[in-house]
Amino acid sequence: MMQLVTPAAAQDSLARDAEAMGASMIRLDVGFEQLARLDGSLDFSRLDAALATVRRHRLKVLAVLRGSPWFAAGCRQGTPFERTLACPPSDLGQWAGWAGQVAGHARGRIAAYEIVNEPDGAWNFSGTPEQYAWMQSKAYEAVKAADPRALVTTGGFMSLASRAWIARAFRTPGANFRFKFDVASVHIRDRPAQAGRVVRAWRAFFKAGGRADAPVWVSESGYPAQGACQSFPGYRGEQGQARWVSDAGQAMLAAGARRIFFTTADTAGCLFDSEGLFRTPLIETRPQDGWPQSPRPAALAAAALASARPASIARAGLALCPPDVAAARKPAACRP
């Protein structure tokens, strides 16, 4: 996921490599703490710079709207300052208004908006399912009013273990959560043998919630390249990472996933510091003018995955576009 605070040259490296792989969309973190001024107005300079970079490389954008600046956070008493970003907003109308302002300002430049990243994870959102439901509902309305053509996804849900949490959002009185998203966004890092079943289980869950029509996007997916961080037998080392991308990717597509976002750059933590399709220095050690990147075998596996749709998908007659690691050759209906 590209960050607004990533140095310009590094952003260009990310976008350039994504374009070279044949990607069609990139995920962009848009934290309101990076846009909002103390008077409540928004500074779009960082956003405009990032969008210009992405446009140069002919990529669409999934913008992740998240975060409550410290002066607009509705935190419980005793919340440490460094945790205020995870708090729900103190003024829901203001927060949703910011979402609408971003959509209006970036109209035609952002294709889709994800409302909060992993709201079902306490590490990232300390509010209740009901508070999240209202954030999703009001942000959806604000985005659609400003840019009716933009898609709005749910928050990227972490795992099937969160279904009871999400069900509370569906049941929130007045929020009408069921009709406040166009796409169901989920994260999958399971064993390849389970990945397809996980997609089908998510589709069944949203169908039970009255949204059988909502396509499922896997907005985060990946597997470490370093053996010490790998947990699946038969998927060891960089070649094992490549096999995981190929096997899990095919399984997810065959099960009905409409888009897959694979992690391209390494981040931090054992599970994620080698998850990137490209070898990169960790965030903490990257030079400010960009960093060298070289493709792992998984990058080639990801591009190959989408260069031709698996026969099983074609036989099923599913109207799938290649995922976001697609090779340049795509069906005409799927081209930007």
DSSP state of 161: G
Answer for the pair 303, 325: CB distance below 8 angstroms, yes or no. yes
Neighbours of 117 (CB within 10 A): 24
pLDDT higher than threshold 50 for residue 317: no
pLDDT higher than threshold 80 for residue 135: yes
Confidence (pLDDT) at 18: 83
Q: Is 30 exposed, middle or buried (0-12, 13-18, 19+ CB in 10 A)?
A: buried
Confidence (pLDDT) at 269: 66
Confidence (pLDDT) at 6: 86
Backbone angles phi, psi at 253, to 5 degrees: -65, -45
Q: What are 189-218's pLDDT values in tens digits?
A: 999 999 999 999 999 999 999 999 999 999
As a whole number of angstroms, the distance between CA 299 and CA 21 comes to: 8
Confidence (pLDDT) at 334: 36
Neighbours of 271 (CB within 10 A): 16
Backbone angles phi, psi at 79, to 5 degrees: -65, 125
As a whole number of angstroms, the distance between CA 43 and CA 328 comes to: 35
Answer for the pair 101, 66: CB distance below 8 angstroms, yes or no. no
* Confidence at 332, pLDDT banded by 50, 70, 90: very low
Q: What are 50-67's pLDDT values in tens digits?
A: 999 999 999 999 999 999
When pLDDT is averaged across residues 228-239 and rounded to a whole number, the result is: 94
pLDDT higher than threshold 90 for residue 9: no
Answer for the pair 184, 219: CB distance below 8 angstroms, yes or no. no
Confidence (pLDDT) at 282: 53
Low-confidence winner among 92-101, 134-143, 199-208, 299-308 (lowest mean pLDDT): 299-308
pLDDT higher than threshold 60 for residue 285: no
Confidence (pLDDT) at 78: 93
Residue 13 structure tokens: 């490296």
Query: Which residues partner with 114 through β-bridges?
Result: 64, 153
Confidence (pLDDT) at 280: 73
As a whole number of angstroms, the distance between CA 217 and CA 2 comes to: 18
Low-confidence winner among 56-65, 89-98, 120-129, 296-305 (lowest mean pLDDT): 296-305
* Confidence at 91, pLDDT banded by 50, 70, 90: very high
Give how far Cα 218 sits from Cα of 76, 228, 279, 332, Å. 32, 25, 22, 23
CA dihedral 228, 231, 237, 242 (to 10 degrees): -140
Return the closest-CA partner of residue 223 out of 215, 213, 214, 232.
232
Confidence (pLDDT) at 319: 28
Identify which has the larger pLDDT, 293 or 82. 82
Answer for the pair 147, 107: CB distance below 8 angstroms, yes or no. yes
Neighbours of 334 (CB within 10 A): 13
Backbone angles phi, psi at 70, to 5 degrees: -55, -30
